[in-house]
Structure 1
Amino acid sequence: MKVVIIGAGSVGRTIARELASSRHDVTIIDKEPAAMRVASVADAEWELGDACEIGTLEEAGVGGADVVVATTGDDKANLVVSLLSKTEFGVERVIARVNNPKNEWLFNDAWGVDVAVSTPRIMTTLVEDAVADGELVAVLRFQRSGASLMEATLPEDAPIVGAVVSEVLLPPSITLVAIVRDGMPFPADPDLTIDAGDQVILLCAETDNGDLALVEELVSSIQDEDGTEESTD
């Protein structure tokens, strides 16, 4: 598979190394000479140039790419690259990094984006800092299908704590795909017991709020569901 990565920062280089190690054909584009750390991903092709210009994308072979990944720290640049890749070169799959959550609404098929990734949301520590236990949070949305990857950290009294995965009854549109425990991911095997503090990772098809409300009941505190509050006396 041919992959063109825009941005040679830490995010771009990490993705490039993983793909190159799997023998994919990887090209990295960056406009900053200082970013040309060729030795860091020696198996990739490197292109110095502004990826917001069609000429640079042509030279990098975007027309023959299966996937373009826009990883720069500039949301405007990532949107322009996505739009050019999709409309000018017909790239089948375009993945774009969202840096500012306020801009996330722009990252859709109108701008050529198939998958928008908000890096801060995917970083577990930041999710835990910003979100209360039991709150269901979308960390990634697949634009083409409308499906979302969602996460929740389980409080001690969540209804599914103590159950094994096979006992958790979810709507057909929602699948429990993994559990993160003490920083380690585990596949959602049927006999795996769910513990308090686990992060449950769910794949949710584009669905109505009723299905999501059911899942929220399973992962949230029973106290929250009852509407009771702790005394402040």
Structure 2
Amino acid sequence: MNKRDASRAPRSLPADTAGHLILTRPGPIEDALIRRAEQAGVDYVVLVADPAEALQLHDEGYRVMVGSSDDPATHRAARVDKAALLSATWPDTTNANIIFTAREISADVPVVATANKEASVDVLELAGANEVLRLGLLLGSAMADRTLLPGGRSHLIGRFAGVLIAEARVAGTPLEGRSIADVELRRRLGVTVIGVWDQGVFTIAVPNIELNASSVLILAATQDQLDAYDRCYGTGSELEGSVVIIGAGRVGRAAAQAFAEADIGYKIIEQQPERILDEHYVLGDAADIAVLEAAGIRTATGVLITAHDDDINIYLTIYCRRLQPHLQIVARANLDRNVSTLYRAGADDVLSYASTGAAAVWNHFRGNDTLVVADGLDVFRSTVPVSMRDKTLATSGLREKTGCNLVAIETDGTLVGNPGADVVLTADTGLILIGDDAGQERLANLNDGWRARLRRRMA
């Protein structure tokens, strides 16, 4: 019976499989990638060496295939020569083996790998990786960026289809306590507010949203328009005071480097003596008030909580928030399910290791179609759903039906940002939208192309 059960987990993909993602292990990053793939109608397979584990994942609804990721036969069975991307997120040495093995079968498949050590980047590229991601560095830099988010001034997130996407804090600016309609940013400065983050919750921008000290605006504009915004609402230096970093791992050290480059004072709390490098380090347990005070928690402007354990991060977030109610807290989540808990614990910003990794891989895979703004929030391209064609933007119900906000439209290669309500949406109109996971799913449900992809997958 065990043998028969184990045989239910596939050993190969159908011969006509193509354009799929090959994920070389199950894990938190892979779970985040799978959510994106399913939402976009992209096929995937997870390689699992243990038949029992593969069977369990198969029964949970994952598309898995039994096979070792360092075995050429596995890559042949996974149709690596027809895949759209291969992702390798194992330790560095294992990744090198996987990549080199995959390159025996296919010289062309795009390969994205993660690397823990800087020295591994060259080795993995020599093995055949097209892109090597140092996730600790990415996450640490992103956490520092959240702390250094300039007072009132815009901070560029990325460029998409010729439009600049930026974020800006409301705290300490004349925007605080006013509604989007009151400030008339689009009329005065040409800047469009396309959404608002508030304690981890994203809301599509509508005129009656009231802005408060915890609000972060998501803006779409040209560089000149952002410069005009900064002249109106910039409130001074990036950060006054100092920052406490809890944890001297890869993420904490990367954040410290960013603060050093910005000439911001910092202290790092670390329990392992061998990681203590210089006067910036404080040896001890961050749960000890004496250690926190030695690191300057009483006078710090911000604190970064970077431990590998989410339980510890939640504990320390609660503690630091009670000690310093006005402290800016940026916390790391290792599992996506703990993001909301960290916000409830008192964090101002939470960055997920899994989502940061998945976003980096996905941006490489769909760089021309998607810009990941934050965990669960994307700027993306779409066609106009059939039910909305030949209607004006105002009468289409695009925002009401999908929860996505229009950033720009593209017709015959011409991009028009901030389109008016009287613009007619046709079959040839390309939409540039911003939306969270739920909004993108609602849009997909309205799109006939999504249904066709689903039918093909079910077949």
Q: C-alpha separation between the residues in 1 aligned to 2:406 and 2:308?
A: 32
Partner of 2:253: 13
Q: C-alpha separation between the residues in 1 aligned to 2:295 and 2:406?
A: 39
CA 1:34–1:112 in 2, change beyond 3 Å: closer, same or farther?
A: same
Q: C-alpha separation between the residues in 1 aligned to 2:445 and 2:327?
A: 36
Report Cα offsets for 1:73-108 as digits up to 9, x if no partner. Answer: 111221122111111133421111001223333212
Counterpart of 2:443 in structure 1: which amino acid? E
Report Cα offsets for 1:127-169 as digits up to 9, x if no partner. Answer: 579x9xx8998843xxxxxxxx612665xxx317xxxxxxx99
Partner of 2:330: 95
Q: How far does residue 112 in structure 1 lie from its aligned partner after superposition?
A: 1.9
Partner of 2:321: 86
Q: C-alpha separation between the residues in 2 aligned to 1:66 and 1:79?
A: 19
- The one of 339, 350, 358 aligned to 1:116: 350
Q: C-alpha separation between the residues in 1 aligned to 2:319 and 2:435?
A: 29
Report Cα offsets for 1:165-185 as digits up to 9, x if no partner. Answer: xxx9985984759xxxxxxxx
User: Are the counterparts in 2 of residues 70 and 96 from structure 1 also a CA contact under 8 Å?
Assistant: yes
**How many residues are aligned here?**
183
User: Are the counterparts in 2 of residues 120 and 127 from structure 1 also a CA contact under 8 Å?
Assistant: no
The yes-or-no answer on 1:105 pairing with 2:332 is: no
Q: How far does residue 5 in structure 1 lie from its aligned partner after superposition?
A: 0.8
CA 1:92–1:223 in 2, change beyond 3 Å: closer, same or farther?
A: same
The yes-or-no answer on 1:150 pairing with 2:373 is: no
Counterpart of 1:25 in structure 2: which amino acid? G
Partner of 1:159: 383
User: Are the counterparts in 2 of residues 223 and 229 from structure 1 also a CA contact under 8 Å?
Assistant: no
RMSD of aligned residue pairs (Cα, Å): 4.4
CA 1:46–1:176 in 2, change beyond 3 Å: closer, same or farther?
A: farther
Counterpart of 2:299 in structure 1: which amino acid? G
Report Cα offsets for 1:29-55 as digits up to 9, x if no partner. Answer: 1111122244xxxxx721111112211
Where does the alignment leave 5 or more consecutive residues of structure 1 unmatched? 39-43, 141-148, 161-167, 178-187, 192-199
Matches within 5 A, 1:168-207: 171=399, 174=405, 190=417, 202=434
- Structure showing the higher helix proportion among its residues: 2
Determine what percentage of the aligned residue pairs are the same residue: 22
Q: C-alpha separation between the residues in 1 aligned to 2:323 and 2:362?
A: 36
User: Are the counterparts in 2 of residues 176 and 203 from structure 1 also a CA contact under 8 Å?
Assistant: no
CA 1:19–1:135 in 2, change beyond 3 Å: closer, same or farther?
A: closer
CA 1:216–1:51 in 2, change beyond 3 Å: closer, same or farther?
A: same
Q: C-alpha separation between the residues in 1 aligned to 2:265 and 2:435?
A: 29
Higher Cα Rg, which structure: 2
Q: How far does residue 25 in structure 1 lie from its aligned partner after superposition?
A: 1.2
Where does the alignment leave 5 or more consecutive residues of structure 2 unmatched? 1-239, 385-392, 409-414, 419-431
Q: C-alpha separation between the residues in 2 aligned to 1:222 and 1:135?
A: 20
Q: C-alpha separation between the residues in 1 aligned to 2:404 and 2:433?
A: 14
- The one of 432, 436, 439 aligned to 1:213: 439
Taking structure 2 as the reference length, what is the TM-score of the superposition?
Answer: 0.33
Secondary structure (helix, strand or coil) at the match of 1:108 reads helix
Counterpart of 2:456 in structure 1: which amino acid? E
User: Which structure ranks higher in relative contact order (CA pairs < 8 Å, sequence separation ≥ 6)?
Assistant: 1
The yes-or-no answer on 1:26 pairing with 2:279 is: no
CA 1:219–1:11 in 2, change beyond 3 Å: closer, same or farther?
A: farther
Partner of 1:58: 293
Q: How far does residue 225 in structure 1 lie from its aligned partner after superposition?
A: 5.1
